[in-house]
Amino acid sequence: MSDVLKVRTVGIICKHDNPEACAAAGRLSAWLRERGVEPLVDQSAARCLSVPGTPKEEMPERSDVLVVLGGDGTLLSVARLVGARGKPIVGVNLGTLGFITTVALDQLYPTMETVLSGQYKVLERITLRASIKRDGKTIAQHHVLNDAVINKGALARIIDLDAHVDGRYLTTFKADGLIMHTPTGSTAYSLAAGGPIVHPAMSCIGVTPICPHTLTNRPLIVPDAAVLEVVLMSENEDVYLTLDGQVGFLLKYKDVVEVRASTHRMYFVMSPHEDYYLMLRTKLKWGER
């Protein structure tokens, strides 16, 4: 990608309620203009900076590269907008852990120098396509970067979920829910539920039960060519499918959630000093007492 892309326009999207992000957007805009590159600032940040803004929905189409200033939640919302367009994303961490927004603020300009010079590297990450089927018909479909989670409402009891892989019965999970995630999503909800950390460059799908009633139920990794089907077998319960923690869908008895690798890929620009294992040690505080 880096040997063919000439960057003329950079879209800048901020966490809307973060003054630090808005200030960083202003500085980056000026820096880009000095180098003959047009910055497009999303409308919420533009209001803070008193400059013309661009609707966030138009950013992926009009930009060669997107810079996201915020946390992982902000980046996940941008990933949904990018979809199949394949635009590279520079995720700048202004949040807390920041497993996806891996570029530190003090590395923003060295990273952007590599982008403008065409010398940058990207990490390609798979996404998932989650479909909801009811009475044999697909009634909703979404693409996720992190995970598709089936979980019960606040007052629901343990739910029964029949799981199949490539048409073969796996098991019936009796649990609070089930997480189906990408390698990127392995450090999100799945990690908190006891799932494994998977390097984001890998191509696979993780399955992690949430508080399973049977203690021998353990997380599972399947190839990215696999098709997962999970059937809700509990009646009269509030059960939801949550997509990247931001979009929710109420499921009904016998609904089928199908999850498979999507043809969409996300491309994240790497900092020149990025070290995935250092990031794990730092953010997860490995080796500390």
Active-site residue, 255 included: no
Instruction: Using DSSP bridges, classify how beta strands 88-93 and 65-70 pair: parallel, antiparallel or unpaired.
Output: parallel
Q: Give the Cα separation of 265 and 259 in Å (integer).
A: 15
Identity of the amino acid at 239: V
* Catalytic residue selected from 3, 17, 72, 238: 72
Q: Which are the catalytic amino acids?
A: 72
